[in-house]
Structure 1
Amino acid sequence: MAEPPPLPLPLLLLLLLLAAAPALAEIKTLTIASDPRPMILFEKFGFTASGHVSITASSVSVASSLPVAPESSRLGFFLLSDESLLQVLLELQRNPHFCVLDSQYIVPLFTFRDLSPPPRASYAGSYPVSSPNEYSLFFANCAPESRVSMDVRTELYNLDPDSSKDFLSAGQTQLPSLFSLFSLAYLAFVGFWIYTCRRNRRSVHRIHLLMGGLLLMKALNLICAAEDKHYIKVTGTPHGWDVLFYIFQFIRVILLFTVIVLIGTGWSFLKPFLQDREKKVLMIVIPLQVLANLASVVIGETGPFIRDWVTWNQVFLLVDIICCCAIIFPIVWSIRSLRETSKTDGKAARNLAKLQLFRQFYIVVIGYLYFTRIVVFALRTIAAYKYQWVSNAAEETASLAFYAVMFYMFRPAERNEYFALDEEEEKEAEMALREEEFEL
């Protein structure tokens, strides 16, 4: 028995990314221009029992390179749940010429047969969602050798008990409150950091000022995220808060990676300069983070309907992995340098304390990156659609814990517990370093 042919790679990547993609929302007006794709993903949304889908398609035209005009019933919109995704994939794999509009696993909405006659060629419809679930809104083009052009306006929402529209997915409607809560926590953190720096002015270094700026940008980023989600929830549009959100997110991410690299090298805290290799790390990380943030904006603002959406997702993931690996190197270099220095400069206790400090920092950074990149992704993938906010809560909790630990370890203090050591501790440290050298 012959094996079924594989799915086309772009379609397969789109459907696989769909399974892990966060739910999108808000009112959107999109333009499709001469698009030949067999399937176009518009939105992903978690519906309650009072969910609705409203679609307006206008200026619709279909161009074909075949002499016969495309069958209008072969082009249309439908909803697809994650549970039915695998079944549709199997249908497509068994028969590459199978039209998804004929599948028993989709929720059909309308086809181009329902369009008003030319020259307007338009359609507007609103559909209640009778079965609560998380659905993706697709357009399918099963007409071979054809290209579609149209303007599409989508509204996906749930109705609250007071009959007001909630344009946030069922699993994200709690996000405005969640982001507001964490923004208050970071504002309190900023106040405490300012108090700590003022109390220990003599021990404040330039790195501590950068760390304070990082906290402030994180707080402002969360405030804008809360306002962005609030206005989307109520009105369906962000009212410009998305622009501020991306600005502060860009500054915050750049500062975060810069601070981790600078702390990892011991800049300002242990030494007032950077070596050439450490400067190269910064020169690599910062431009890559600019690219990653650009990809994040494209992914978040345009949505999956654009042709290069899969490519932008791949760019974002690749760049993020490279940056996460790059910021580890300075910490490893510092650990290696401290281990070598401890053998020669006669300050065993101080070097052992520094070595322990940077080892702990290495573990903290690795744990933070692992949790936010892998565990949070797993939560987002396996959590029920009504509890998608849990992954956001886990990510923000992990970030707050990471900031708290990092800032505590490298706080300004006149008698730092790592470097204020007596003679007895010095002797103990010498013995410890000798034992470590023997083990190595």
Structure 2
Amino acid sequence: MILFERFGFTHTGQATITVSAVSVMSGVGSPDPSRLGFFLLSEESLIQVLLELQSNPSFCVLDSKYIHLLFTFRDLSPPPHSSFNHSYPITSPNEYSLFFANCAPESAVSMNVRTELYNLDGRGRVKDFLSAGLTHLPSLYFCFSVLYFAFLAYWIYICLQNKKSVHRIHLLMGVLVVMKALNLLCAAEDKHYVKVTGTPHGWDVLFYIFQFIRVVLLFTVIVLIGTGWSFLKPFLQEKEKKVLMIVIPLQVLANVASIVIGETGPFIKDWVTWNQVFLLVDIICCCAIIFPIVWSIRSLRETSKTDGKAARNLAKLTLFRQFYIVVIGYLYFTRIVVFALRTIAAYKYQWVANAAEEIASLAFYAIIFYMFRPVEKNEYFALDDEEEEAAELALKDEEFEL
């Protein structure tokens, strides 16, 4: 069984399958053409089919009552130009997986396959090649790109209003917002191109370039803020440099995996492996960027015991703890909650997971940028004598608790 594609159909959905130059080679005579064919299988029926195969290993999936059989090789035109071309209306709207099955023992098949899975608009004229649950993505991504461009304009305004308080990290944060906005804009165009043409070759190259820069910048900015670079200290320690040297190459690997996943499909041999590589690398990077924040918190706690500026150190300590919580919350939500939403949401509402991820990302950017904004009298660093005394007591209490 070879999985070609998964697609969410509406009541106007259609599947068009074209095969040509079909060649079947077998070492045990001429195989039965009814043992080779294409079929659609819904997620609900997949379990039933697996149970059938488990109870009878020699069972041919093409004989299952749970599949929606499209055609077998009996329907092919006669050799030497064996081919087939037909469109099938989807009578029962659902999310289906398109499979090819070969139940003929000791046989190999060679063929050219072209598939078109789409839904028609209300008038039955315009084809929509995006799955029913993803058809809103172009508009969604475009709206968020506009929000990020507005975010960028506001960030530039704040930086210009507080030129004396602007550090290098603030400029890097601005570049991050630019990359995020451009990445979403390219994603919107790319998804629109797929929706209209059915092929993923719009601005996909630009999309992958901006995605790579954006992800590397995001992890870099989190590490640099976590170490207090630029606005607390103008240098990085050796162990912090090592984190960046680990995270950046891993992000290169993750983006290669992302491109392979996005530009191919589940029918290629190593598609599952690339998905696993992407997941593993992402988890490693998420864990790695936590360490610099923990190091900063530990360093500030130690400094607080000897440094006379207790209030300022306590404020920094509070700031980095909040930063730590925000980063953990963001990573948890975008990696676990969003995945859960994709898993449990009905196929027509898959876009909700994408919307939740973008809302969480925008909230994360807004919180971090607000916490570390370039203002002359930042609440974390401008404290009076009364707060100084209160902070000394707080630090003593904390030391006692530890």
Q: TM-score, normalised by structure 2?
A: 0.98
Are 2:120 and 1:159 aligned?
Answer: yes
The alpha-carbon deviation at position 239 of structure 1 amounts to 4.2
Give distance in 2, aligned partners of 1:371 and 1:238.
Answer: 28
Matches of residues 29-44 of structure 1 in structure 2 within 5 Å?
Answer: 39-44=1-6
Give distance in 2, aligned partners of 1:82 and 1:166.
Answer: 22
The alpha-carbon deviation at position 150 of structure 1 amounts to 1.5
Are 2:308 and 1:343 aligned?
Answer: no
Are 2:56 and 1:95 aligned?
Answer: yes
Letter in 2 for 1:360: Q
**Counterpart in the other structure of 2:69:** 108
Q: 2:281 aligns with which of 315, 319, 325?
A: 319
Indicate the larger mover: 139-148 or 324-333.
139-148
**Counterpart in the other structure of 1:133:** 94
Give distance in 2, aligned partners of 1:234 and 1:348.
Answer: 61
Matches of residues 360-375 of structure 1 in structure 2 within 5 Å?
Answer: 360-375=322-337
Letter in 2 for 1:100: V
Give distance in 2, aligned partners of 1:62 and 1:277.
Answer: 59
The alpha-carbon deviation at position 100 of structure 1 amounts to 1.2
**Counterpart in the other structure of 2:186:** 224
Letter in 1 for 2:110: S
**Counterpart in the other structure of 2:30:** 69
The alpha-carbon deviation at position 62 of structure 1 amounts to 2.3
Give distance in 1, aligned partners of 2:251 and 2:31.
Answer: 45
Give distance in 2, aligned partners of 1:349 and 1:144.
Answer: 77
The alpha-carbon deviation at position 332 of structure 1 amounts to 0.6
Letter in 1 for 2:353: S
Q: 1:331 aligns with which of 293, 300, 306?
A: 293
Letter in 1 for 2:183: N
**Counterpart in the other structure of 1:20:** none
Letter in 2 for 1:110: F
**Counterpart in the other structure of 1:11:** none
Letter in 2 for 1:116: S
Q: Deviations over 1:267-296 (max 9, x none)?
A: 112111111111111111111111111111
**Counterpart in the other structure of 2:110:** 149
The alpha-carbon deviation at position 148 of structure 1 amounts to 2.1
Give distance in 2, aligned partners of 1:182 and 1:126.
Answer: 37
The alpha-carbon deviation at position 358 of structure 1 amounts to 0.5
The alpha-carbon deviation at position 243 of structure 1 amounts to 1.5
Give distance in 2, aligned partners of 1:273 and 1:150.
Answer: 59
Indicate the larger mover: 167-176 or 146-155.
146-155
Give distance in 1, aligned partners of 2:58 and 2:400.
Answer: 68
Are 2:154 and 1:201 aligned?
Answer: no
Give distance in 1, aligned partners of 2:255 and 2:201.
Answer: 21
Give distance in 1, aligned partners of 2:292 and 2:170.
Answer: 18
SS at match of 2:322: helix
Q: 2:267 aligns with which of 292, 305, 321?
A: 305
SS at match of 2:57: coil
SS at match of 1:180: helix
Q: 1:269 aligns with which of 225, 231, 246?
A: 231
**Counterpart in the other structure of 2:369:** 407
Q: Deviations over 1:307-357 (max 9, x none)?
A: 111111111111111111111111111101110111111111111000000
**Counterpart in the other structure of 2:319:** 357
**Counterpart in the other structure of 2:352:** 390
**Counterpart in the other structure of 1:177:** 139
Letter in 2 for 1:280: K
**Counterpart in the other structure of 2:82:** 121
**Counterpart in the other structure of 1:21:** none
Q: Is the 8 A contact 2:28 2:106 kept in 1?
A: no
Letter in 2 for 1:312: W
Give distance in 2, aligned partners of 1:78 and 1:310.
Answer: 21
Q: Is the 8 A contact 2:189 2:202 kept in 1?
A: no
Q: 2:244 aligns with which of 278, 282, 285?
A: 282
Letter in 1 for 2:296: S
Q: Deviations over 1:206-257 (max 9, x none)?
A: 1111110110000001111111111211222244311211111111111111
Give distance in 1, aligned partners of 2:335 and 2:201.
Answer: 30
Give distance in 1, aligned partners of 2:152 and 2:25.
Answer: 58
Q: Is the 8 A contact 2:169 2:229 kept in 1?
A: yes
Letter in 2 for 1:249: Q
The alpha-carbon deviation at position 121 of structure 1 amounts to 1.7
Give distance in 2, aligned partners of 1:390 and 1:91.
Answer: 34
Give distance in 2, aligned partners of 1:236 and 1:387.
Answer: 20
Q: Is the 8 A contact 2:4 2:98 kept in 1?
A: yes
SS at match of 2:306: coil
**Counterpart in the other structure of 1:34:** none
Letter in 2 for 1:124: N
Indicate the larger mover: 148-157 or 130-139.
148-157
Letter in 1 for 2:376: E
Give distance in 2, aligned partners of 1:230 and 1:56.
Answer: 24
Q: Deviations over 1:159-180 (max 9, x none)?
A: 1013211111111111111111
Give distance in 2, aligned partners of 1:239 and 1:280.
Answer: 37
Letter in 2 for 1:349: A
Give distance in 1, aligned partners of 2:96 and 2:237.
Answer: 52
SS at match of 1:343: helix
Over the aligned positions, Cα root-mean-square deviation in angstroms equals 1.0
Indicate the larger mover: 233-242 or 147-156.
233-242
Q: Is the 8 A contact 2:250 2:285 kept in 1?
A: yes
Indicate the larger mover: 251-260 or 239-248.
239-248
Give distance in 2, aligned partners of 1:298 and 1:75.
Answer: 29
Letter in 2 for 1:375: V
Letter in 2 for 1:329: F
